[in-house]
Every structure is written in structure tokens, then in C-alpha cells.
Amino acid sequence: MSQISVSDLTFGYEGSFDNIFEKVSFLIDTDWKLGFIGRNGKGKTTFLNLLLGKYEYEGHISASTVFDYFPYRIKEEQKLQCSVDFVEELKPGCEQWRVICELEKLGLSADVLYRPFGTLSHGERTKVMLAVLFSGENDFLLIDEPTNHLDRESRECVKEYLRKKKGFILVSHDRDLLDACIDHVLVLNRCSIEIQKGNFSTWWENKSRMDAFWQAENEKHKKEIGRLKQVAEKTREWADKSERSKIGFDPIKDPGHGGKRAYIGSKTKKMQSRRMQVERRITDEIEQKEGLLQDIENPVDLKLMPMKYHKEVLLLAKDYGIAYGSSKVFCDLDFELRRGERVFLHGDNGCGKSSLIKAFLKKAQFDGLGSRCGSRERLPEEAARIDDASASTDTMQENGTLTCASGLIISYIDQDTSGLRGNLKNFCIENGLEESLFCAILRQLNLERVQFAKNMEDYSEGQKKKVLIASSLLKPAHLYIWDEPLNYIDVFSRIQIENLILTFQPTMLIVEHDVRFREKIATRVVEL
């Protein structure tokens, strides 16, 4: 066991208005299973890159271990190759037998290494990269969002795999995964960094208690400051009144009261002294109050404007099926979505969840479908596999009946953020959004104002997702269709969105693999 020491770390991107880290210091044991928690844009991935030595910084990071990072960057030419041909490039010194042993623990056989990487599913790609990652010895591993885009089975497999490992930092917003896999948390708070022993739920319970304690302390200080201000004001009034009583008093004309003026002056001086003492106590109370709430997460309640449709059934499928060429995705589906329901589509990657959503959008003649659901040029090796997330409606073959209620207004979130380009102002113009309201929602989702001046291609993935969520929230609709909306979204915003949906109860069709989110939100789950 060794330690990673971070002392006085200061870092900010060139041209940025403020630093991401400012004089940060802490220690990490390399035997820990460390969960890394924080808001989108707080610097989690940046810190991992600092450990990898990718950026110059002020301060010191000292470690006697070797770092390795997930996910590996797979080049376009490597997607055409079998994984076995380039694992040595991903991890120098990597031994194939070790990779095969790790693959077996992940439930895959060695033959996956001898298939072109581009033809593997999301889950298979993730497992191959994790097997390569853990095939070394004594490395401290930096694992960044390993379960994004993975289906239920793959998530469970990765969760069980990581649960038996140690010596890593895991960046994830999946509460279920964090609870299962970590024994310490490293938290980027609003104004500080803390390390605690335990999993996510332990930390969240401690945080909730501490937040309640500091809020109570804050209220006590506020009440005491208010009381002291009243005392100071009364003392000031008494002192002023006493001072005014000296006006017009002439000791020569009234020699019998020669000491009265001196008495009044002494009394006034004591009152002024008492007032100064009270004001010093007010200053002390204000100083003690400052900083009490600096790390408290108090998300603003979001608002939604769902419209009520006049018919009960909004979407209907009868003996419905989808295929791409000779590859059948699903068939004989009977499905309906009624007003007020929040239906989650659930199933393995490639089972047709996104295809079904896009079929509904096409049937409803949803504006902008072509720009977000367009086809892409496929590699020859991909012909035998359907990539459900990027499948085009142009090549989709349907059978059975699929209907959408006429005049249905839909608000849609695509799982793909790659189309976000340019600044927020132009995005609002292109999408018919009121810029001030749109930016207000982004602020409520904790996107810093400094980000408004940047182009969206410079945003983190979580910040891009918040742009799509804010756009959807701003559009009144009968039906909200969200395709994996929470990928990369931080825990605090997830809870914020959960509360929003439970409060306004819109009609929704959702694809989302976050178990906790689904358990809280879903009125019904449809297995594909």
C-alpha cells in the first residue's frame, strides 16, 4: 500500500475566468476503492488527467504508482482491427493470458478478442477495455463513467466485477454502482474537497445530517444577529436622547444643578460604549455565520409545463415489429401509452428501445427528427450488427400497426450530444427558445454563468446533456420522450429531475438504465 499526496494543487484552463482547483490538498491510499463525486464541470475528469500528467499545474502531486485510465481512446483504424491486435498499444506490456482471465470474470470468452472492435456491442467494448485495464499489476486505475450506454445485464456484470477489485478511482453518477463498488468517497463540494470512508449512501446520509446541522446553526446566528441589532438600535436611541437632554442646560443660570451636565455626559458615554460592544458582537456573529452554507447543495425546484391531451391513449402499437435488412430487432409488440403514465422501455442493448422511440417520432412527424436521427456510414464489418442508438429510420422496416394521437406535441431528448455546436444564443434561435428563460433553467441545473460565453463543443458531456434537458423542459408538450437523459448527469441534478417529474407528473416515454431513477419515477416498465 502506498499513498498519493496532493498538496496546494492549483489549476485552471488557459483563457478560463477562474481556477478549477485552488490550493487543494489531500491524501489517497492506493488500496482504496474510491468513488469520485461532484457536480458536472467541477473538475473530476480534469483531476484524473492531472494525475496522468496531461496538464501543467501549480503545487505538487506525488505518487509511487503507475496510473492507467478508462476508457481508452480507440482510433478509427483500430475499430477495423481485432482487439487482440492492438491491446499492446492500449496498455504497454499487457499480456494476453491476463486479459483472457479478466474477460472470463466479466462473463466473456476469449473469442471476443478476435472480432473487429467496431462490431462489438457497447457492453462488449466496455468489458474488453476493463479487462485490459485490470490486466496489469500494482497500477492505480482511473475509471471514468464505465456504465454509460450499458444495458441492465452489462451494468450488473460490471458492478459485480468492480466490487471484487481495489485500487481505483471510480467516477460515476450511478448511485447503485457507487454503493456496490466503493469503500471511500472523494467529494468535490461547492467550495471544498472532502474524503470520507463508506459508500455513496453513507456519504449522502452524513451530508444530509451535516447540511441540516449547518442550516440550524445558520438560523441560530441569524436570530442572534437580529436580536443584537435591535439592542444596538435601542442603545443608540437612548444615547442620542440622553445627549440631546444636555442641549439648553446653563449651569450659570441654574447653579443648584451644576453636576447634572457631567452626569448626563458620563451616562451617554457608557451607553455609546455599550452600543460599540453590541456592534462588535454583531460582527463576530456575522463572521461565525460566514461559510456555514458554502458547501450545502440546495437545488432550485425546476418547473415543467406539461399539456393535457384530450384523448386517453397517446401511443399504440399492435403486433408491431422492426427489422433492418435481414436483422430482426423485435416483433409482435403490443404496447400503449396512456395519458399520465411514465413508461420506461427496458432491455438489453440492441433490443430496439431507441428504434421504437424513433418510429414513434417519425409517425408523429416530430420536427427535427431528421437532424438528430440521421443515418451514418457503417463500416463493412458492422453489417451483421444493429447499433440501436444510431439506427436510421430511413432503413427501418416495419410490420404491424403503429399509431400516434393526432396533433400530439412531443418534447424529445436524444441520447446523442455530438450535434451540439456553437454558442447558446444561436442554439436558442435555431430551436425557438427564449434565451433568458433557457439560461435561467441552465443556472437552476447548476451550469455556471461563465459557461454561457463558451461554445458547446467545449462543454463536458454532462453539461451538454443539461443543455438538452433545459431545452426539453422549456417546451410545453403533451408527451416527453427522453432517450437516456441521465448519461453523465451528476447525482444532485438527477435527484432534482426526479423531484420535478414527481411534482408535475408529465406523460413520459423514457429509456434510462439508472435503477434508482427508474424505481422512483416509473409507473410501468415495458420489457423489450
**Whole-number pLDDT of residue 329:** 87
pLDDT of residue 369: 39
Mean pLDDT, rounded, for 75-89: 93
pLDDT digits (tens, 9 = 90+) for 229-245: 777 777 777 777 766 66
pTM for this structure?
Answer: 0.74
Residue with cell 401509452: 337
> Residue 252 has what pLDDT?
56
Mean pLDDT of the 251-257 span: 55
In angstroms, the Cα distances linking 65 to 22, 170, 261 are 24, 17, 81
Q: Which three cell numbers stand for residue 295?
A: 458547501
Provide the pLDDT confidence category of residue 287 given band limits of 50, 70 and 90. Answer: low
% of the chain beyond a pLDDT of 70: 86
The pLDDT assigned to 293 comes to 58
Residue 264 has a pLDDT of: 66
Average pLDDT over residues 427-452: 91
- The stretch 273-283 carries a mean pLDDT of 75
Helices (H), 335-416: 353-363, 369-372
Q: What is the pLDDT of residue 81?
A: 93
Q: Tell me what the mean pLDDT of segment 424-452 comes to.
A: 91
- Per-residue pLDDT reduced to its tens digit, 99-157: 999 999 999 999 999 999 988 888 899 999 999 999 988 899 999 999 887 888 888 99
pLDDT at 180: 94
What confidence tier does 372 reach under pLDDT thresholds 50, 70, 90?
very low
- Rounded to an integer, what distance in angstroms lies between the CA atom of residue 314 and that of residue 207? 42
pLDDT over 90 percentage in the chain:
54
The pLDDT of residue 261: 62
Q: What is the pLDDT of residue 324?
A: 83
Q: How many CB atoms lie within 10 A of CB 174?
A: 27
CA distance 279 to 273: 10
Question: Per-residue pLDDT averaged across 180-209, rounded?
Answer: 91
Strands (E), 297-455: 313-324, 327-338, 342-346, 396-404, 410-413
Residue 6 reports pLDDT greater than 50: yes
- Average pLDDT of the segment spanning 368-392: 37
Question: Which pLDDT score is estimated for 382?
Answer: 34
Contact (CB, 8 A) for 222 and 290: no
Q: For residue 142, what are the β-bridge partners?
A: 69, 169
List all residues 6 or more positions away from 85 whose beta carbon is below 8 Å from its beta carbon.
Answer: none
Residue 349: per-residue pLDDT: 76
Task: Name the more confident of 469 and 286.
Answer: 469
**pLDDT of 274 above 60:** yes
Question: In the predicted model, what is the mean pLDDT of residues 426-453?
Answer: 91
pLDDT at position 134 is 95
Which of 173-187, 441-455, 466-480 comes out lowest in average pLDDT? 441-455
Distances (CA, A) of 76 to 80, 145, 378, 442, 471: 7, 21, 12, 34, 32
Gap between the terminal Cα atoms of the chain: 46
C-alpha cell belonging to residue 178:
457507487
**pLDDT 10s digits, 201-214:** 999 999 888 888 87
Torsion angle of the four alpha carbons 462, 466, 472, 474, in this order, in degrees rounded to the nearest 10: 180
The pLDDT assigned to 255 comes to: 55
Mean pLDDT of the 177-198 span: 92
pLDDT tens-digit series, residues 258-268: 556 666 667 67
pLDDT for 43 equals: 87
> Which sign does the torsion angle of CA 325, 328, 333, 339 carry?
negative
Reduced to 3 states (helix: H, G, I; strand: E, B; else coil), residue 177 is helix
Question: Is residue 521 within 8 Å of residue 510, measured between CB atoms?
Answer: yes
Predicted pLDDT of residue 390 = 45
| pLDDT score, position 374 | 32
**pLDDT band (50, 70, 90) for residue 40:** confident
pLDDT category, 371, cuts 50, 70, 90? very low
Type and span of the H or E element at 5: strand 3-11
Average pLDDT, the chain: 85
Average pLDDT of span 260-281? 72
Peptide bond into 485 cis (omega under 30): no
